Amino acid sequence: MPSRPPVCDFGWKAPEFALPDTEGRIWRLADVMGPKGALVMFICNHCPYVQAVLDRILRDARDLLAIGIGVAAISSNDAGQYPEDGPEEMAALARRLGFPFPYLYDESQDVARAWGAACTPDFFGLNADGRLQYRGRIDASGRQPAPPGARRDLYEAMLQIAATGQGPTDQVASMGCSIKWKAG
């Protein structure tokens, strides 16, 4: 059953975190922030919605990094129930595809809870002050990729945030698999 995050809570202050990447380095939000903002996305390896747009995530991340927007991905799924979302598999995927951003592991799921992450993929576009300005989709993709030439919703929104500090008022929520929470 697909899940959708809530609409953008403009101005919400992103909580700090300290999470390991696939090489063991600890990253904080301040390390991810670029001079024009940051994109923090909750993804995982196994979700068909993420798999459908992973090439677009990588394209958009490279383009955003080039204009001064920092990028990080966080996997918060219960790796006990979904081993393909654990650190070893995350590292293998990041190496194989050449992730240009840190892929962080939220084993306790505390960061996903603090951020209110609802699904994979779930995109949080922050301005340079670390305030939420975008909580929408990457493009019109779902479980299948959108057609070539589809509007780059996430990228266009982040360009606007980089230029003005404000996100677009018209946003379409992302859709994906729900976060796989640990029992208890």
Count Cβ atoms below 10 Å from residue 178 Cβ, excluding itself.
16
* CA nearest to 73, candidates 22, 146, 147: 22
Prediction pTM value: 0.96
How many Å apart are CA 35 and CA 32, to the nearest integer? 10
pLDDT attached to residue 67: 97
pLDDT attached to residue 149: 87
pLDDT attached to residue 136: 95
* CA nearest to 32, candidates 92, 115, 88: 115
How many Å apart are CA 115 and CA 42, to the nearest integer? 10
Q: pLDDT tier at 145 (50, 70, 90 boundaries)?
A: confident
pLDDT attached to residue 143: 87
Query: From residue 30, how far is each of 37, 165, 177 by CA, in Å?
Result: 10, 17, 28
How many Å apart are CA 115 and CA 112, to the nearest integer? 5
Residue-wise burial string across 163-176, b where 16 or more C-beta atoms lie within 10 A, e elsewhere? eeeebbeebebbbb
For the chain, give every domain's residue range: 18-178
pLDDT attached to residue 1: 58
* CA nearest to 135, candidates 8, 13, 47: 8
pLDDT attached to residue 126: 98
Count Cβ atoms below 10 Å from residue 66 Cβ, excluding itself.
9
Fold of 18-178: Glutaredoxin (3.40.30)
